[in-house]
Chain A
Amino acid sequence: MIETVDEPEVGERRAWGWVAHLTDGGTTPWRDWSGLGASQGRYLPGAQQLELLRRLNLSGRPDPEVAAAVLASSPAGRGRPDLELVGAGPESEFGPAPVDPAALSAGELVRVAASVLADQLVDAGPLPVAEPPRPSWWRRGYRLVGDPELADGLREQLVARGRPPGGREPRILVVGTDLATMTAHAWGHRAFGEGVNAWGEWLRLLRERSELPYGADLLAAARVWERRVGKTRVAVVLDPAAVPRLAGDRRRLAAPTYLPGEAGELARKVGSVLALLVLPEEGERLLRLRLRPRVRRHAHRVHGALPLAVPAQHRDWLEGAAERMRRGIKRAGYAVHGNLDDLVPRWTSLEDSPEISQAPSPEATLDLAVRVLLDDEADDRSGR
């Protein structure tokens, strides 16, 4: 039975009442809440944790274990500490000012979500080590390198058809598309792997060092493989439709679906927590094999989750790099399938339109994090 009062001195009991309300799946914002409750622990959870639980309740019915994990967590990394609810107790002259949790930024809530997700990934136990399928010895082999997202998307389909990479004298297919897209793919791929800076900062550093990201530099990839297997077995493929034929499979492959920038942003945040929980190699496997499938199930339902675009200040640099890559590939004389001119990004008005994101949206990242936390199909929640 909830008693309704409005005296300021019962603020803490009001806060405990709100905790109970949220734990039961309630969605009432703190400022509209007036019921009282009994203390359930040694301290009140922070405003960030409580508001994240409210957002989870607004979007679905979180597993009780997930709700408990959210309330027991702390925001990951540097930033504001656990904040108190405004009106939940007497104003202290010390500590950060209490807040209305509804006014917290999406980024603050993502810090909590990242911490809980990292715990879930680890608590589900070590990943089984799968034996890679062996290619048939009688077939001409292939390897897909280059743009990591494109290569992974195509390879996955070939493996599903019983055509794993490797094999007899494999043909090296350096796959790619325009350099701006490949750069965004390389960022997302690293976010689900070894970790990466924020998109804008990463681009800035690449530019200052005049470096292209690993995987997006098709000329460098082709040279590496040329040294290993000889030029005749290396082909640059800018037309993905040519891949099945070159890989010795006649059937068409579907165009790979790419994750929006917000997926990479969430993985980046989760990865920074994982770095403190498991060794780097295990962390990368957890991100790729455990988090990525969960994110993939929800990323395209998130309103405002968009492909990443290169901000205007970096476009001239990428154009120049793409032009040099185009000339280098042509001069080196590699077999090319597709049009080398496609390497050079063509900036259209679309790049600056609301359909393309020049940085991951914090709100969409939070929405994605909430959906992933609510994921019913996840088989890796703690305790399951």
Chain B
Amino acid sequence: MTRRVLLHVGTPKTGTSYLQDVLFRNKRTLAENGILYAADRHDAHFLAALDLMRLPWGGLEREAVGAWDRLAEQVRGWHGETAVISHEILAAASRAQVGRALASLGHERQGGGVEVHLVLSVRDLVRQIPAEWQENIKHRSGMSYRRFLARITDPTRNSRIASWFWSVQEIPEILDRWGADLPPERVHVVTVPSPGGAPDLLWKRFSQVFGLEGMDLHLEEERVNPSLGVPETALIRRINRSANRVLPPADYRPLVRELLAHQTLSRRVLSPRLALPPEQVPWVQEREAAFVAAIERRGYDVVGDLHDLRGNAGLHPFVDPDKPRERDVAGAAVDAIKALLLETARMRAEEERLRAELDETRDALSRSYLRPSYRLREKAVKGLTRGRVGRGLLSVYRLARGRSSRSA
């Protein structure tokens, strides 16, 4: 049975996709080192989280039935030392769901069970707020930045946007829900380095907390969620508002999110970056300070520097994505049209190839229909189906043929 479970529950936009990708691609190496990352597909832990939290996700939840229990069973049955579970949406789990998750992994409140370690990777709100809005846009939202900010600053948090945002971004509250039954030394807060830090610093911090140091892992391909600039995000928002109602989610994902946002528009790195409006900076800084004070007070294990949680609001000048420079948006739109044209051309070529293949198949089928024996059989069947007796004889023949083919 597993002795130790490292449970990484968030937060979004803190390098989690990269970490999960490395863990998935290096499952074998990890297992040789006594670490289980139980995943038969790269989103296995995402599905487990959907199942645990009963969260619909555009139909994907249908693939998640029973996924958490299967994952927990694999973790409990692991013969090695450590098992790792990682997904950022787990940050939003309720207390009841946390209780169920910990119990299913073998955790015992009074001690004696599996040693559960909670890992929470965190980033400053100055970067997280625009990143969350952008993520909403890449998930079909047409909401303006101003409206998004108004929602998340509304103290009632009644809207879905606000309740989701804070459930995955309010660090002390996430730790309250997930860490209430754990001693503080088993709660590890990994900070995302401030902009300008060494590129591999975050990975080093993850390696340290997950015990991956010294292992020969393949790290070369990054599967990250690339960020968009101001005009590019504004363009996707306009596309959402225009096409959302007619474009099914199954087509939106590959065409808008992947082709346009990730593969095309994210390459426009010279565009102005998203930032906080100046009037929002004071309350964001006040929240960040409160987060830091709470983490310090509770005595968690901090991997990195808590100073990283105080964002640099002056890093990028604020450019309003609700009123972008139309020239910039037009430039982004031309790139988007070009990408769609190339994709359409590729699909036309594919369609042509398939059409040729279909024609060949049809020709072959027609040739077989022209054989005299086929035409004779066809004529006989047509004749028999005209009368009741004939139909009966045909049924008996089909029954007999079925039997003989089964016995054969």
Contact = CB atoms under 8 A, between A and B. Distances in A.
Given A93-B290, A94-B170, A78 B55 contact: yes
A277 B56 contact: no
B246 A96 contact: no
Interface centre among A77, A208, A272, A276 (most CB of B within 10 A): A276
A155 to B, nearest CB: 27
A280 interface: yes
B163 A42 contact: no
Given A77-B56, A115-B54, A276-B61, A46 B160 contact: no
Given A78-B56, A276-B50, A72 B96 contact: yes
Contacts of A137: none
Contact of A94 (B92, B163, B294): B294
A204 B50 CA distance: 28
A82 B156 CA distance: 14
A112 B65 CA distance: 19
Interface in B5-52: 50-51
Interface in B133-177: 155-158, 160, 163-164, 166-167, 170, 172-173, 176
Given A96-B163, A208-B246, A46 B94 contact: yes
Interface residues of B, number: 36
Given A94-B170, A273-B54, A278 B65 contact: yes
A205 interface: yes
B176 A94 contact: yes
Nearest to A77: B56
Nearest to A71: B96
Contact of B65 (A42, A204, A277): A277
A78 B160 contact: yes
Interface string B73-102: 000000000000000000010111101000
A81 B56 contact: no
Chain B contact residues: helix, strand, loop or mixed = helix
B94 to A, nearest CB: 4
A61 interface: no
Given A76-B54, A273-B54, A94 B172 contact: yes
A365 interface: no
Contact of B95 (A82, A94, A205, A209): A82
A95 B173 contact: yes
B346 to A, nearest CB: 27
Given A78-B55, A94-B176, A94-B294, A275 B61 contact: yes
B64 interface: yes
B180 interface: yes
A74 B157 contact: no
Given A72-B96, A97-B157, A275-B56, A79 B163 contact: yes
A374 B290 CA distance: 45
B386 interface: no
Contacts of A76: 54
Interface string B275-305: 0000000000000001000100000000000
A322 B239 CA distance: 33
Contacts of A79: 160, 163
A81 B170 contact: no
A193 B132 CA distance: 34
A96 B55 contact: no
B157 A276 contact: no
B401 interface: no
A73 interface: yes
A314 interface: no
B109 A77 contact: no
Given A80-B158, A95-B176, A97-B156, A43 B246 contact: no
Contact of B157 (A43, A46, A96, A115): A96
A160 interface: no
Chain A contact residues: helix, strand, loop or mixed = loop
B181 A42 contact: yes
B379 to A, nearest CB: 22
B218 interface: no
B13 to A, nearest CB: 19
A279 interface: yes
B325 interface: no
B245 interface: yes
Nearest to A74: B94
A82 B180 CA distance: 15
Interface in A27-47: 42-43, 45-46
Interface string A278-309: 11100000000000000000000000000000
Nearest to A41: B99
Contacts of A43: 95-96, 99, 180
B180 A42 contact: yes
B251 to A, nearest CB: 14
A273 B62 CA distance: 10
A115 B55 CA distance: 11
B160 A205 contact: no
Contacts of A208: 245-246
Contacts of A77: 54-56
Interface string B292-328: 0010000000000000000000000000000000000
Contacts of A279: 62, 65
B11 to A, nearest CB: 14
A201 B400 CA distance: 53
Contact of A81 (B109, B163, B172): B163
A328 B56 CA distance: 40
A338 B62 CA distance: 43
Contacts of A92: 173, 176
Contacts of B290: 93-94
B308 to A, nearest CB: 19
Nearest to B98: A43
Contacts of B61: 275-276
Given A79-B160, A208-B246, A276 B96 contact: no
Interface centre among A77, A205, A209 (most CB of B within 10 A): A77
Nearest to B53: A74
28 contacts: A42-B95, A42-B181, A43-B96, A43-B99, A45-B96, A74-B94, A75-B94, A76-B54, A77-B54, A77-B55, A80-B157, A81-B92, A81-B163, A81-B167, A92-B173, A93-B290, A93-B294, A94-B173, A95-B173, A96-B157, A96-B163, A96-B166, A97-B155, A97-B156, A209-B246, A275-B61, A275-B62, A276-B61
Interface of A: 42-43, 45-46, 72-82, 92-97, 115, 204-205, 208-209, 272-273, 275-280
Closest 3 pairs (CB-CB, A-B) = A94-B173, A74-B94, A43-B95
Given A77-B56, A78-B163, A82-B94, 20 more contacts: A42-B181, A43-B96, A74-B96, A74-B97, A77-B55, A78-B55, A80-B158, A81-B92, A92-B173, A92-B176, A93-B294, A94-B176, A95-B166, A95-B170, A96-B166, A97-B156, A208-B246, A275-B62, A276-B56, A276-B64
